[in-house]
Amino acid sequence: MSALKIGVVEDELVIARLILGTLDELGYSHCGPAINYTETIEMLEHNKPDLLLLDIQLSGKKDGIDVAQKVNEQYPMPFIFLTANSDAETIDRAKKVKPHAYIVKPFSKEDLFVAIEIAFNNFSGKQTSQPEATNSWQGKDHIFLKDGHIFRKIFLHEILYLESSANYVTVHLQSQKKVMARSTINDLVEQLDQKNFIRVHRSYSVNINKIENILPTEILLQGISIPIGKSYKDDLFKALGIKDN
């Protein structure tokens, strides 16, 4: 799957280039920059970004808050205000459209990365928690995982482990096949059978029925080594009925 696509809405070209360069360094794909309301709507229609970085002050009569209102109405996606405006009046207007983050310029690469990751993950969590969400996992002995435009049926007993990386989770099957989903590992783990799947590391959850050996700092599943995080070891041993004396 492609990297998270960030739409950039910024009418100052010097700042826009800085933002685009920073996104490149962070490994995101991007579209834009759009410099006004009309260009932003065209970008939303044709480029379909996953998240918007949105300046409040834009060229033309309509500003970034007008864009945000339109996004809320017709283009459900997280958006982050990235602006030099931090006065009380602007913030009060911004709060009404409920941005997923608000960054005041100048910003650092770290500020941008944290805001994007948290905004997207929180938004994705809300979407998947709804019964009608299209990326939800369903069923008792199987799950339906959205893979592109296809919902793939995967039986739980076929899953070896889940591996998290940025905004994606890779589902590793005992057949050695892999299926990748855009989600957080927390969202997926919560919807699996908690008796058979357990977190063993911040980036891994395993099917405890597939564990072959347990070493001091790792476990083996079909010869594959998975690290054990210190904070997860006690819960793992408890689930397996092991007393580490």
Q: Containing H/E element for 103?
A: strand 101-104
Lowest mean pLDDT among 35-49, 93-107, 185-199: 185-199
The predicted pLDDT at position 146 comes to 67
**Residues 59 and 10: beta-carbon distance below 8 Å:** no
Average pLDDT, the chain: 85
Burial class (CB in 10 A: 0-12, 13-18, 19+), 178: exposed
Lowest mean pLDDT among 99-113, 124-138, 178-192: 124-138
Domain with CATH 2.40.50.1020 in the chain: 142-240
Q: Which two tokens stand for residue 51?
A: 């998240």
Residue 77 has pLDDT above 80, yes or no: yes
- Structure-token match 């059978």, residue found: 193
Homologous superfamily of domain range 5-128: Response regulator (3.40.50.2300)
DSSP 147-201: ETTEEEEEEGGGEEEEEEETTEEEEEETTS-EEEEES-HHHHHHTS-TTTEEEEE
Lowest mean pLDDT among 26-30, 44-48, 148-152, 176-180: 148-152
Domain 142-240, CATH 2.60.40.10 — does that match?
no
Mean pLDDT of the region 95-115: 89
Residue 175 has pLDDT above 80, yes or no: yes
Domain with CATH 3.40.50.2300 in the chain: 5-128
